[in-house]
Amino acid sequence: MTTIGQRLKEERERLNLSQTSMADAAGTTKKTQIDYETDRTPPKATYLAAVATYGVDIAYVVTGQRLENVAGTPTELAYLRNCRALAKHGMAQQGLDGLTFLRESKGIKLQEDPGDEIVLDLTNIAREP
C-alpha cells in the first residue's frame, strides 16, 4: 500500500509539476514539499486545498482511491475548468452540446461499458446561483 507522501508525489508527477512549482502554487517551500512527499510531515489542510485548485486529486492522496470526476491529465483539467466556467454562466448545456457535436462528427462513441451509450442532458439540473 502506498503512503500519502507517495501518492502526493504521484499526483505532482501526473500533472507534470516540479517540486518547486507545486510548492510555489501551494504557498510553501520546496523543502516542505519534499517533507510531505517523503512522509516526514503530513500535509496541512490549507496546503491540500491549495494544490486541489491545480488538479491534485485530494481524495486519492488521502485515501488511495480515485474519484471518477477528477481530471487525469492537464488537458482533461483544462476541459473540466472550461466546462465549469460555462456552467457558471448558465451555458452548461451549450458546452456539452458542442463537445457532443465534435465527438459525433468524428464518429467517436462514448461508452462507459461496452454496448452502453452514455447520454448526458443538463437541461433539468438546477443552476448554481
pLDDT value for 7: 97
Domain ranges of the chain: 4-63, 74-117
pLDDT value for 129: 42
Nearest residue to 26 (alpha-carbon basis) of 101, 90, 11: 11
Mean of all residue pLDDT scores within the chain:
83
What architecture (CATH level 2) is domain 4-63? Orthogonal Bundle (1.10)
Give the pLDDT mean for 77-92.
Answer: 85
H or E stretch covering 98: helix 92-105
- Strands (DSSP E) contained in the chain are 111-113, 116-117
Cβ atoms of 11 and 57 within 8 Å: the answer is: yes
Rounded Cα–Cα distance for residues 2 and 10 (Å): 10
**pLDDT 10s digits, 10-54:** 999 988 899 999 999 999 999 999 999 999 999 999 999 999 988
Rounded Cα–Cα distance for residues 39 and 97 (Å): 45
